Amino acid sequence: MKLLQERILRDGNVKNGNVLKVDSFLNHQMDIGLFNEIGKEFKKIFGDLNINKILTIEASGIGIACITAQYFNVPVVFAKKAQSINIDEAVYSTKIESFTHRKAYDAIVSKKFLNANDKILIIDDFLANGCALAGLIDLARSAGASVEGIGIVIEKGFQSGGKMIRSMGVRLESLVIVDSMNAEDGSIVFRS
Ligand code: 5GP
């Protein structure tokens, strides 16, 4: 997605530790015009799927998922990050290793909002090592739901997540894939 590549080059910042900061337009301040283009692009890619729900994870996935959902006319469910202490039988839960915070947390979804009839499109902002996605797939499968596709805004192709998730046989499409980036000179190379 050319528009997104240009925006990342203009406003993205490469940080140490393989972190790409895009908080001025994607996951802190949000450019809704750009989100609409992202939503349209996901509709173009996944419009053939017969989905009835979008699943994401708080917090950064929610805005993107909601705008995308308008193009599919389906509800959005987001996994909540929870304290283990609050986990009860009314929820599906999974453990996720956070890439940005480097610690594990539980993610939960109420059993009321995921079920065996659901055909799900998962949406998230970033794909790095794939832990967040593996957790979302686990939550969907715990409910007996099927994951029809996964849409990612920015995949860091030099990290292991893409390979791991694609090897699970799930259809995963990323709007941009970063092949390399350098915190020293700020350069970013996209996969063509
Ligand atoms: P994974 O579970 O694939 O290792 O990481 C995915 C999650 O970590 C995303 O939901 C995103 O919130 C966060 N994340 C991973 N890499 C980056 C990054 O380079 N920049 C930002 N802003 N978030 C990231």
Reduced 3-state DSSP string for the chain = CHHHHHHHHHHCEEECCCEEECCCCCCCCCCHHHHHHHHHHHHHHHCCCCCCEEEEECCHHHHHHHHHHHHHCCCEEEEEEECHHHCCCCEEEEEEECCCCCCEEEEEEECCCCCCCCEEEEEEEEECCCHHHHHHHHHHHHCCCEEEEEEEEEEECCCCHHHHHHCCCCCEEEEEEEEEECCCCCCEEECC
Alpha carbon of 91 to ligand 1 centroid (Å): 24
Alpha carbon of 15 to ligand 1 centroid (Å): 13
Q: Name the percent of the chain lying above pLDDT 90.
A: 92
Alpha carbon of 125 to ligand 1 centroid (Å): 7
Average pLDDT of the chain, as a whole number: 96
Indicate if the pLDDT at residue 36 is higher than 90. yes
- Domains of the chain (ranges plus CATH)? 2-181 (3.40.50.2020)
20 lines ligand 1 (CB under 6 A): yes
pLDDT digits (tens, 9 = 90+) for 113-126: 999 999 999 999 99
